[in-house]
Amino acid sequence: MISRRSWLASLASMALTCAPLAAAPMAQAATRAPSSVSHVKVAPGHVRVIIHGKLYDAIRVGNDTYVEEAAFNAFGTPYVDLGNGNIALTGRNVQGVVYDGKTYVPWSALAPSVRAIPLKGGGFAFVSQPVKHSYALLIQASQAVAGSVAVLNVVTVDGDNSVPGQAITVSSTGFSQLEPSSGASTIHVTTDGTGTWQGGLTDSTAETVYVTVSWKTPSGGVVRQTVPVPFQAPKANGSTGNANSGDSQSPPSLSSEHLVASTPVSFYQNGVFLQASSGEESITFQLDTGAYETLLGASLAAQLHLPNLGSIEVGGIGGTDEAYMSKVTLNIGGHVFPDIPCIVDPSWTGIPLLGYGFFQQNGYDLLISQTQSTLYIMK
């Protein structure tokens, strides 16, 4: 079964209270320390918080102190704001609250190890405790045939935990190109809230491509790893062209239909992947017959300059996402399919999904040959 996208779980909001200031659990055992910031009056329900000599906004939530998420940067803590107060951290998610348009998170989540020091006159100074890190890159690549796409999966980790929102550089050798891009062999991308980046690697030549990923870690060091990705020569009876090229071999024969286009596919973790292009951008898609509409992330939609044709709520497991409708023109196997309806979901960070709705509505049949590793589009 083709893998489906993950959706953010819906989370109940937490009420703010204006109870008198009480020390956070760790603060009760801590010694008091003078503040380098003069005492300032805070609004009811707010708490004075100082980190590295700088004042940060904080609020009371029940008996705990929640600090504005900008404080993550003070500690150099990797994080991704997933929306609705949900924050992805290294190895876990933490639920904050959204109050007056700003996201606040529990003070204990600001760094792997935090100490709270009560301040004279109320409030806290937060300091981090040193922890050991073991940063590494995990890279997986699917098998591929020359002319098809290899799926790349990169995860930034610290020990056994994934690190979210990390900028990485991916480069490849030989005649290959990375996707999504306009034929580039080096791209700069960012891992998502799970510390993962997925993309495609294509090569029309039977050769071994070496993919190198480099990452400047939150500690300032650089981790670099290289993996080989072999592109095998196509089988003798394989299909490597389109309906107009004349070199498609042994296409399926349906008495009432003719071949419109064909393109090589790859199989990876029960998914079917193919290459398409839009304008100058080459894109790796996962064929998803469980999805009616084609699904793209906001970053790719911006690269393709796709119009916003109206807002839509996209339902998933546990909740909904705010997205919008658009249309994209794709070249698949040398045939141009114009104005394919699609959904642009800002929360979607995986490989784009090619849905079946457009093809069904326009009378196309999609046939996959596993022996020839080819997708045939018939009509």
**pLDDT tens string 280-331:** 999 999 999 788 999 999 999 999 999 999 999 886 544 567 899 999 999 9
Q: Say if 41 falls within a structural domain.
A: no
Q: Say if 28 falls within a structural domain.
A: no
Instruction: Pick the closest to residue 158 from 137, 128, 141, 188 (CA basis).
Output: 137
Mean pLDDT value of segment 246-252: 57
Lowest mean pLDDT: which of 38-52, 114-128, 164-178, 313-327?
Answer: 313-327
Q: Same domain, yes or no, for 282 and 355?
A: yes
End of a domain among 128, 148, 169? 128
**pLDDT exceeds cutoff 80 at 42:** no
pLDDT at residue number 307 = 96
What is the average pLDDT value for the chain, to the nearest integer? 86
Task: Show the domain range for 140.
Answer: 135-232
DSSP for 246-285 reads: S---S----TT--EEEEEEEEEETTEEEEEEEETTEEEEE
Total structural domains within the chain: 3
Q: Same domain, yes or no, for 58 and 80?
A: yes
DSSP β-ladder status, 374-378 and 64-68: unpaired
Q: Say if 242 falls within a structural domain.
A: no
Mean pLDDT value of segment 121-133: 94
pLDDT band at 38 (very low <50, low <70, confident <90, very high): low
Q: Same domain, yes or no, for 227 and 150?
A: yes
